[in-house]
Structure 1
Amino acid sequence: MTTFVLVSGGYTGGWIWRDVAAGLRAAGAEAHPVTLTGTGERRHLGGPGTDLETHIEDLTQVLDHLDAPDVMLVGYCYGIYPAVGAADRRPDRVARLVYLDSPMPQDGRSMLDQVREQMPEGATRGRVLGLRERAEGGWRVPAPTRQEWQEWGNLAGVGPQALDRIVRLASPQPLGPLDQKLRLTGAAAGLPVTGVFCTEGGSMDIATLEGLVASGLPLVQGLAAPAHAFFEIATGHWPMISTPGELTDVLLRSAEGEGHRLAAPAARV
């Protein structure tokens, strides 16, 4: 039986995975949506000391307490940072890392560092880098308003009722996890990876990634390894809400090692 651990992104919690978790279980898999400390129904447990290590420990404890030794660890958006950190601490517990419409965390950099270094200049970059100024008490960023979700949330495919639920359940986001640098030992570097791109309104798809690999960009060269695979879903940034059936199918296929393989870069003379 395949076991999935599903890690949410900022301002949310395990509730975003309701339909996907149900679909995975109906297919005979185990599904464990995780709410990170200080978010969702665990918002009351957050504080000024809540940081990335807190969230890594949340996931490490989940991995330690599961009977399954080979987990499909799915990190969505910010959630990929603690997912990669937990895989680094427990590589023997993880069968595959799934990057769901997420960045590629790097050792020694925080999420805000990578936004600063890699995101093009513009309103979105400025909004993310302005989180510190909006943090209440210096540590907790208020949840977006309905208007802010509509303006910044890449909600393609999310209907009005689903948006109502997002607005109702969204929680403040601790700033510390976004600002603390990720520290990796390299223990999980050999784990198989699946990348899932949401292509409506996104900046990345398989063709773009293949171009980056072909260009020789060092950060992505390892993604052409045979164990790594990729999928696209034609929706916005909330596939577990906008297209839960398709995302469920993609996750089940990723557990079987399916997906598009990247061509290895041509040798440079």
Structure 2
Amino acid sequence: MTTFVLVSGGYTGGWIWREVADHLRAVGHRAEPVTLTGMGDRRHLSGPGTDLNTHIEDVAQVLDHVGAGEEDEAGETVLVAHCYGAYPALGAADRGPDRLARLVYVDAGLPTDGVSVLDALPDPAVRERLQRRAQEHGDGWRLPPPSFEETDIWGSLDGISEEGRDRLARFAAPQPLPTLTQPIRLSGATAALPATGIFCTKNVTSTAALRDLVASGDPRFAALGDPRYGFFDLDTGHWPMLSCPGELADLLLRAAADEGERLGPSDQAPA
């Protein structure tokens, strides 16, 4: 049995993993969706002091809970993060990588030490719009959920049913701005930890595009050619837990089994 700890992205909570968790449990695994402080049914706990470190501690506490059980009960632990969730997930993993078997990034960028979520956004206009929205509509510290037309924030909604969109609109919570402005601090302790990237190809990028970057010799991407890192493509928008939860669950199981396309010169695992 594998334990999958599932960390949601911005504006959402553990509720968004419901169908994925059901699929994983149905085949005998353990699934632990994480609801970060201020999100989902914990939105009432949000405040001006809710920052990235708060969310890192949330994930760390779930990992502590998982690790407190009998070893044969929890099995290996795979930490899965969607979008913004990569920041609290990696921050928590950095504190104790030995308790994890693998990190899985679902349509998420890889956080860089000393860089905040907002600073990592390539478009300064988006950064300014988000900060202005918090000032004008969120008492200076919280970001109301964007409209679905703002795909530069939500990402592609391709594949989500009307029911799924209704759920996203109904349960989305304001994001505390300090979670996006506080730089992440990493020690590099996860450098040897295996990781998997799942790209939603109707959103921004794909394995093929990343392979070209690795092959180009750009030092920013060279490490991704290491055989510890595997990759999958999923033909959907940015929210596969809503658009194709069964397919996403299957890829999480394959990631846990160390499958996935390798980007280095010699593929060491089947795609």
Mark yes or no: TM-score above 0.5: yes
Query: Which letter maps to 2:31?
Result: A
Aligned to 1:10: 10
Distance change >3 Å, CA 253–CA 152, structure 1 → 2 = closer
When the two structures are aligned, how many residues end up with a matched partner? 257
Partner Cα distance (1:6, 1:232) in 2? 19
Aligned to 1:51: 51
Q: Does 1:70 align with 2:72?
A: no
Distance change >3 Å, CA 106–CA 151, structure 1 → 2 = closer
Partner Cα distance (1:223, 1:148) in 2? 30
Aligned to 1:19: 19
Task: Say which SS state the counterpart of residue 4 (structure 1) adopts.
Answer: strand
Shift of 1:62: 0.6
Query: Which letter maps to 2:99?
Result: R
Matches within 5 A, 1:24-35: 24-35=24-35
Q: Does 1:197 align with 2:199?
A: yes
Aligned to 1:143: 145
Point out where structure 2 has 5 or more consecutive residues left out of the alignment. Answer: 267-271
Distance change >3 Å, CA 186–CA 151, structure 1 → 2 = closer
Shift of 1:219: 2.0
Shift of 1:176: 0.6
Distance change >3 Å, CA 129–CA 75, structure 1 → 2 = farther
Deviations 1:236-258 (A, max 9, x none): 00001101110010000100000
Alignment partner of 1:86 out of 88, 92, 99: 92
Partner Cα distance (1:40, 1:166) in 2? 11
Task: Say which SS state the counterpart of residue 219 (structure 1) adopts.
Answer: coil
Is the CA contact (8 Å cut-off) linking 1:225 and 1:264 kept in structure 2? no
Query: Which letter maps to 2:195?
Result: V
Partner Cα distance (2:158, 2:11) in 1? 18
Aligned to 1:133: 132
Query: Which letter maps to 1:186?
Result: G
Shift of 1:70: 3.2
How well do the aligned residues superpose, as a CA RMSD in angstroms? 1.7
Point out where structure 1 has 5 or more consecutive residues left out of the alignment. Answer: none
Alignment partner of 2:104 out of 98, 105, 112: 98
Task: Say which SS state the counterpart of residue 31 (structure 1) adopts.
Answer: strand
Partner Cα distance (1:237, 1:132) in 2? 23
Identical columns (%): 58
Distance change >3 Å, CA 128–CA 156, structure 1 → 2 = farther
Aligned to 2:113: 107
Query: Which letter maps to 1:3?
Result: T
Distance change >3 Å, CA 220–CA 147, structure 1 → 2 = closer
Shift of 1:151: 8.9
TM-score (norm 2): 0.91
Shift of 1:128: 4.2
Partner Cα distance (2:197, 2:232) in 1? 6
Aligned to 2:233: 232
Is the CA contact (8 Å cut-off) linking 2:118 and 2:127 kept in structure 1? yes
Aligned to 2:255: 254
Is the CA contact (8 Å cut-off) linking 1:110 and 1:180 kept in structure 2? yes
Partner Cα distance (1:108, 1:146) in 2? 30
Shift of 1:215: 1.2
Deviations 1:65-123 (A, max 9, x none): 113363110110000001110000011111101010001100010111111xxx2x5xx
Is the CA contact (8 Å cut-off) linking 1:112 and 1:129 kept in structure 2? no
Partner Cα distance (1:194, 1:132) in 2? 32
Shift of 1:146: 4.9
Query: Which letter maps to 2:201?
Result: T
Distance change >3 Å, CA 219–CA 149, structure 1 → 2 = closer
Distance change >3 Å, CA 215–CA 75, structure 1 → 2 = same
TM-score (norm 1): 0.91
Shift of 1:228: 1.1
Task: Say which SS state the counterpart of residue 130 (structure 1) adopts.
Answer: helix
Partner Cα distance (1:151, 1:107) in 2? 22
Partner Cα distance (1:179, 1:69) in 2? 35
Deviations 1:158-189 (A, max 9, x none): 11111111111111110111110000111111
Deviations 1:175-220 (A, max 9, x none): 11111000011111110010000001x2211111011111122222
Is the CA contact (8 Å cut-off) linking 1:70 and 1:92 kept in structure 2? no
Distance change >3 Å, CA 153–CA 114, structure 1 → 2 = closer
Shift of 1:127: 2.9
Partner Cα distance (1:101, 1:262) in 2? 17
